[in-house]
Structure 1
Amino acid sequence: MTAYMIFTRESTQDQAALDAYRSKVRDTFDGYTHKVLAANGTQQVLEGDPAEATVVLEFPSLTAARAWYDSDAYQQVAQHRLKGSRHRVVLIEGL
């Protein structure tokens, strides 16, 4: 069943680290089936606090999403994101 991973950037702490993440993250998807459904587009906040940015990824399954997220390649690059910003990351199974 399709799964969606949603990254919400709440705040930036280190722009250089975040830039390093952005420059390297694309390569971590090699070999993983996915679609980028939304990435840092215009947001209309209807409830709650605004996010700095939001990215929505689609994967064929929860297992496939976790395989990418838990991969050595992504975890090495994710260290830049973790240093550079506060994020909320949610993985949800589709209907």
Structure 2
Amino acid sequence: MTHYAIANLRNVRVGAEIVTYLQRIDATLEPFDGHFIVHGGVPENVEGVWEGSLIVIEFPSYGHARGWYDSPEYRKILPLRTDNADGVTMLLEGVDRSHQATDVLTEILT
């Protein structure tokens, strides 16, 4: 099942380290078939207030997502981001196209 690495970054201090991180991250994603599907941008808030910059990277499976995050290549550049931005990062399973909103009720009600 498709998995996503999702981050909401705030207070990004753009400097040489963030530039280096951005220049090197794509090479860390390639062996795990990961690619950006959302990378910042200015959201149109239609409800509530959003603070931060949303990043979503898609992977074909949990193994690919976890493998990328734990890889020595990514671990080398990770401090370039974490030392220069605040935020939350998570790995999350996606749903397939047949998913309906009520499908979550099985998990909630059991």
- Give TM-score scaled by structure 1 length: 0.85
Residue of structure 2 in register with 1:24 after alignment: 24
Partner SS for 2:56? strand
Residue of structure 2 in register with 1:83 after alignment: 83
Between structures 1 and 2, the one with greater strand share: 1
For these two proteins, the number of residue pairs brought into alignment is 94
Q: CA RMSD in A?
A: 1.6
Q: CA deviation at 1:17?
A: 1.9
Give me the identity figure in percent: 26
- Structure 2: which 5+ residue stretches go unaligned? 96-110
Partner SS for 1:73? helix
Letter in 1 for 2:48: E
Residue of structure 2 in register with 1:71 after alignment: 71
Letter in 2 for 1:12: V
- Give TM-score scaled by structure 2 length: 0.75
Residue of structure 1 in register with 2:37 after alignment: 37
Task: Write the distance in 1 (CA, Å) between the matches of 2:19 and 2:68.
Answer: 20
For the pair shown, the structure with the greater C-alpha radius of gyration is 2
Partner SS for 2:51? coil
1:41-93 C-alpha deviation (Å, 9 max, x unpaired): 22123324411x22111111112100001000001011100111112112111
1:4-46 C-alpha deviation (Å, 9 max, x unpaired): 1111111124633212211211111231112311111221233
- Structure 1: which 5+ residue stretches go unaligned? none
